[in-house]
Amino acid sequence: MRSCGPSLIKYVLFAFNVLFALSGLGILIAGAIVLADVNEFNHFVEGRVIAPPIVLIVTGLVIFLIASLGCFGAIKESPTLLLTFAVLLAVIFIVELAVGIAASVFKKDLEMMVKNSLQESIKRSSSEDTMAWDNIQRKLMCCGVDTPADWRAISANKTLPASCCQPQFIDTTVGHCLDSPALGKDKFYQDGCVGKLKDRIDKNASILIGVGIGIAFIQILGIVLACYLASSIRREQAK
């Protein structure tokens, strides 16, 4: 290399790819955390809700591998490897953009989807449904779909489950609230689960969107650096 320009860009690109590899690992961890959180309530959510964190996990792994290719291309000063790296980054960027748009469209129907799922489940009240309801009501501190009255209105046994009772009011001898009014406003959770579950999913979606936007800017920088270095190397080789 006759000039320090391409050489400097090479080291900048190498450093960038180390950072990029670490960001890929960060994306993978973020996706795994969100997936674990959403899976706690997978009885009530569709596959479309679980899909984004899975895509993020796969993307994080792919980014880690692509960053390795970028490092190798920078060290070898190979225009072909660098352009391949840039193209792969562009493809990942397009996939992330498509997933983001799909998630934004789906988000508009999220509350209705969650509400319908909760209502169907409370109507069935099978043993599996009951276990799922006990889990969500205890963890999110809620009761029923919109209000505790849903259990008396649409459930099979027309009875509020023990998981609606606030822990401090549970009679340990029977595992349920005792001496409480009809809908237990003094002892039962009063918030519906549809709002709590939607807020939980929205919070996870915000994490995914924030991470995705941050990585997108890094990818654009990587594409520019790789193309510039590949062009500089070709010019030097042509001299």
Rounded average pLDDT over 165-174: 78
Task: Tell me the pLDDT tens digit for each residue of 121-158.
Answer: 999 888 899 899 999 999 999 999 999 889 988 888 88
Q: Which residues of 144-178 are buried (b: 16+ CB within 10 A; e: fewer)?
A: bbbbbbbbeeebeeeebbbbbbeeeebeeeeebbe
**Could you give the CA distance from residue 11 to residue 17 in angstroms, rounded to a whole number?**
10
Centre a 10 Å sphere on the Cβ of residue 82 and count the other Cβ atoms it contains: 28
pTM of the prediction? Answer: 0.72
Q: Report the largest interatomic distance among the alpha carbons of the chain, rounded to a whole angstrom.
A: 91
Q: Give strand ranges (E) for the chain.
A: 170-171, 176-177
Positive or negative: CA dihedral 234, 235, 238, 239: negative
Task: Tell me the pLDDT tens digit for each residue of 38-53.
Answer: 888 888 877 667 777 8
Q: Check: CB of residue 148 under 8 Å from CB of residue 164.
A: yes
